[in-house]
Structure formats: structure tokens, C-alpha cells
Homo-oligomer: A and B are copies of this chain.
């Protein structure tokens, strides 16, 4: 919260609201919002504002917001786009805390200038802006339905933040059908000022909200989002659906909200770092939220599958692996627990297979045993329609046991597969909030999301550690480059930055003559690399400006002459500063470590398999900065090539600690030298002895 800014709480719990552009015409949004506020039972004062004044929906209409005497916390603005700026200005003059601009026709259609003008005006008045291009705000704690969506929103414990207005309105309807109650639903639209992060900061502390769903298309300040998301996700589950995963989807998103989608891969890593749960589709996200809203947190991980069909049991087992649900495998205890009720050919191994002969009694026995079994913490119950019994005798028992499992803080999900009677049972049970599905993957997906959340809560993300780097030396190097109007550092300048950060580089000197080259060569030892040093020669390898693997004095002398000759032939006018003589780093694993300011996500750091494999294998992982030690270690473990660092085929473990330190240092460089926009070390050679930054590329911000 910036100074003088109003507390975000008043957006959700305003004491008085105005509707600027309130209308008599039931077809207009200015009517619908006012009508929704009144019929929703909002207990505060409501002020319709309309230039023609008069009575609107039984309330006194005001010609101008400044005519209102009381303080206004939120003004919903629904006037046409060209009139919005003026309306916002008047609200600012009145001292309104928040304007919720419903009107569209701003940056989402290219009209960014007007939007910026509106936000600047609001800022001058210490007023904050939600929208524009939104459907409004529903907030359960004060029964406020300041949206033009459906009436009679069902209150509950699920909060939804959505970047898409149309989807948001549809979700209000959909959640109601699915028996899901909302604590809040807010559309953020163009996010000209208030964004998801601001809303999260309120929802994090709002007691009514038990689970938060965010539909997002593009991020702006990823750094703060990750930070707040991380804090929120430690308190309550946050389910994120991000559209614009694909290249073309990102283009489509950019064209309709003006937001950059950013790389989906990086977003995925940031969600992991934030401990948020990422769902692929809307339905998946809603199912997870519904499950979270009603389900207790299990004490431990032992899950049992109870089934009357082997096949569906196998499918559920597969799904458990996919979604990370831990199947209980103490076969002795399982046998003790379930063998009493087992028909012949049944199995007490997990899945507990009651076979096609299973009756409701058998199921009841298995449920009871699971409920009472202290080492069983969650149950996935499956049923394939059989001719053995009528499912209608089964459903009341399912519901009764669902309640008992709730009380015992043991999550349970059901999956029923069959014909009309089975489908009817599913509909009926869902109406009673029982988590029941028609496909084992859907059932297990919910249980998996729950356990992912449980594991997140248990994990410690670790504190951000500070690494000291010699910022003054770095700034001096950067100053020089800036003076020369360069947006990149030269090789030796990059090496200078590495030294200042305490990252090892290969031993290297720039020789100004043949004798010096030979002297340096003998000092450093063989094998060696030699390279022309000249700002005027860019593709050094292509013109023969580089010689690799020089193993003795003779080769050094020959290479010196050859390099100079070739470069002078190719670039007769190039200014040559000398020839670099460098230790050749061989053996070890070539990695890439980098950091940059991402336009969507802010400062991020990456590491992965380097050298020529970077583009080919795309084996890299990302994190937002600042980074904890634990996260730095996790990101290394995430890359597929991690076993190469542990040592394959009898090799020794490589210097992973050194790698971790390098990642933290590279992050620190980006964090402290704000002139740097991009650092890439490739390759960073990691061997048993340590790490060496062989090639460094640093770009500066414009």
C-alpha cells in the first residue's frame, strides 16, 4: 500500500456506495447494477448519480457525486467511455476511495492514453481504480452485489478474481448450479491500477474466504504477485487458471486485454514457487475449489482405493500417480483392516477390490474400516454399476459416510460409473455437496490437488538469504559502458562483473604482444584458448579469431600469428586491443545460469543444461527473485539433467554447492545493479573441483 492510499478493505466492505450513471432503463447496465445492489441486501447507503436527478429505483438520484453529503467508499462508474474521465475526476474531488469503472473501450481496444489519464487523475486524488472493462464486485461480508451479473449470488467461502468479465458472469451462474457459495467475485479487467495482487492482500486476511480462484491472462508485476501469492497460499489454497498458454492464445489475450501473457513455462515455475495450484481448465479449477471449500485437511497421506471393479481400480491407481496421491501400501495392516469383509477372489491390496459381488453392506464395511483405521487418512471410493444391487439403496449410505468422514477429518471422493440410475444418484449426491464424479481421473484430480496443497503447507520455502557482491566495482564497469553508449558489456567487462560477484572464471590475460602471450601461456598452463580482443570484430570464430586446445608453446606462437593475420585480412581497419590467452576448461558439465528482467514477471533467474543443449533440450527451470536457498536447490533438482551433477556411471558428485551459490550470486547481481537487464553465463562449467563461468553475456537496460 502506498502512502495516503485507501485500505483495500473498503473496496470489499464499503460503508456507502454510489452508482455514477445510474439509470431508469431496465435494459441499461446503470439500472442493473443499482438493482443488484438494492436487491442483494447491501446494508450501507446507496447513492444513484445521474445528471437528470430524480428518483431512481425508489432512491433519490443525485446530479453530481459532489452533491452527496456523506463519505463514499466505492463509486461504480457506468457512464459511456468519453464521460468516464470527468466522472472519475469528480469522484476524486469528492474524496471517493475507490472507483470501479465498468465501462469498456480503453486500453483493451488500444485507447491506452485515456486510460492512463484516468489513472493519473485518480492517483492525484489518492483514489484507486478497479477496471476499466469489468463487471464489478460481489462481496459477501456486506452482501454487496455491485455487478451487472445475475441476482441472488449464493454466499459462501470461495473467492474468485477474474481478468475476463464474460467468464466471471458465467461463473456466477455456474457456481450457483454447482452449489458453490462465493465470498467474493471481482473482475479486474484492464488492471489499470488495482490488480490480482491487491485483491489477494485483502482475501488473505478475510476470514470468510477459505479458497481463492484466479483466472488470469497476463501479469504485470510478477515479483509482488509471487510474493503475495506465496503468503496467501500458506493460509488458504489458491487455484490459478491461466489462459494464453499457447503462442496463439497469448496473442489473442494480448489483443483483448492488452496484457502480455509472458512465457507459459516461466509462469508455471512461478506458480510452483508461489505454492499456488495451477488448473488447466475452468471445470477442473471449479471442481478443485468446490472440493477445497467442503473438505477437511487430512493429517497424513495414506490413501485407500475401495472398488467393486478391477479395471476402474487400475485407472484410479494410474490417476493417483499422475496427481500425486500417496496410496497406502502396508499390506499387512490393509489385510488386517479389510480381510473380514472380503468376498472370494477379492483383494485387500490397495485398491481394495470388493469384486463385482460387492453389496452396499460390503461397501459399508470397507468405509467403516477405513474410517476407524488410524493409519488410513483418505479414501477414493469407486463403483461400477452391477446387477447385484439397486444404487438407490447405496446413495443414502454414501452421503451418511461422507458426513462421517468429514467429521473425522478424512477426505473422501466417490466415482460412480453406470447408466441412468447411476447418473441420477450422482446428480442427487452432488446437490448435497458430496464430491462424486463419473470418471476416476476427475475424482482423483481433486484428491491430488488437496494433497498438493497439504504438501505445500508442510513445506518451508525457506528465507531469502542475502549474498554480498561488490556492487561498487560492478557499477564502475557499467558506467564505462554507458558512457560509450553501449547496451552490452564486453567480454572482459563481463568477467569483471563475475569477479566482483566472486564467481570463478577461467584464468585469463590479454596479451599485447607475442612475448607476453607466451609468458601468460606458461603461467596459466596448457591446454589454452586464444581469442582476438577487438570491439570491431563481432563474430570472432567466423573470421578465425579464435584458436582452441593449444597444448604447447609452439602452438601458442603459431596461433598468435595466425589469429592476427586472419583478423587483419578480414578487418583491416579494426582496432585490436590484444589477444586473450585463457585457460581451457574441459571436462565437467556445461550448464547455463542466467537472470533477467522479464516484461511480465519482473526479475527472474534460470538454470539448466547449457552449451549447445540449451535450445535443443530446453532443460531449464525458472524462479522469481529474490530467491531462498531452498528454492535455488529445488530449481537445480528440477532440471532433467540433475543426475549429471550427481555423477552418472561412477563419476563423482560435482560441485552442486558452488552451482547454488552461483545462482544466488547471479540473482543478487540483477537485484543490486538495476542497470543490468540480462545476464547469461553459458557455459558455466561445473566439475568436481568447482564451477567456472566460461562465457558471460550481460545486457544493460535502455
Contacts and interface: CB of A to CB of B under 8 A. Distances in A.
Nearest to A313: B252
Most chain B CB within a 10 A radius of its CB, from A176, A280, A319, A418: A418
A252 B310 CA distance: 8
Contacts of A400: none
Contacts of A649: 612
A148 B387 contact: yes
Contacts of A105: 345
A244 to B, nearest CB: 5
Interface stretch (A370-378, A525-533, A614-622): A614-622
Q: How many copies does the complex hold?
A: 2
A612 B641 CA distance: 10
A310 B166 contact: yes
A164 interface: yes
Contacts of A166: 308-312, 356, 384, 386
Interface in A599-658: 612, 615-619, 640-641, 643-644, 648-649
A351 B417 contact: no
A648 B615 contact: yes
A206 B698 CA distance: 66
Interface stretch (A91-99, A436-444, A471-479): A436-444
Contacts of A641: 616-617
A385 B173 contact: yes
A321 interface: yes
Contact of A345 (B32, B104, B281, B310): B104
Interface in A248-280: 248-249, 252-253, 255-257, 280
A107 interface: no
A546 B387 CA distance: 69
A414 interface: no
Interface stretch (A71-79, A288-296, A419-427, A661-669): A419-427
A535 interface: no
Interface string A4-32: 00000000000000000000000000001
Interface string A295-323: 00000000000001111111101111110
A420 B417 CA distance: 24
A385 B170 contact: yes
A260 to B, nearest CB: 13
A439 B286 CA distance: 11
A246 B648 CA distance: 25
Contact of A321 (B249, B309, B615): B249
A347 interface: yes
A380 to B, nearest CB: 13
Contact of A439 (B165, B282, B349): B282
A320 B243 CA distance: 12
A225 interface: no
B418 A173 contact: yes
B612 A315 contact: no
Contact of A311 (B164, B248, B419, B618): B164
A442 B104 contact: no
A252 B314 contact: yes
Interface string A664-686: 00000000000000000000000
Given A167-B312, A246-B318, 20 more contacts: A109-B345, A149-B387, A164-B311, A166-B384, A167-B417, A170-B419, A171-B417, A174-B385, A176-B420, A243-B314, A246-B320, A252-B351, A253-B310, A255-B349, A256-B347, A256-B353, A282-B315, A284-B439, A616-B641, A617-B640
Across chains A and B, which 5 residue pairs bring their CB atoms closest together, nearest first?
A173-B419, A164-B311, A166-B309, A246-B321, A256-B310
Interface of A: 32, 104-105, 108-109, 148-150, 162-167, 169-174, 176-177, 215, 217, 241, 243-249, 252-253, 255-257, 280-284, 308-315, 317-322, 327, 345, 347, 349, 351, 353, 356, 384-387, 417-423, 438-442, 612, 615-619, 640-641, 643-644, 648-649
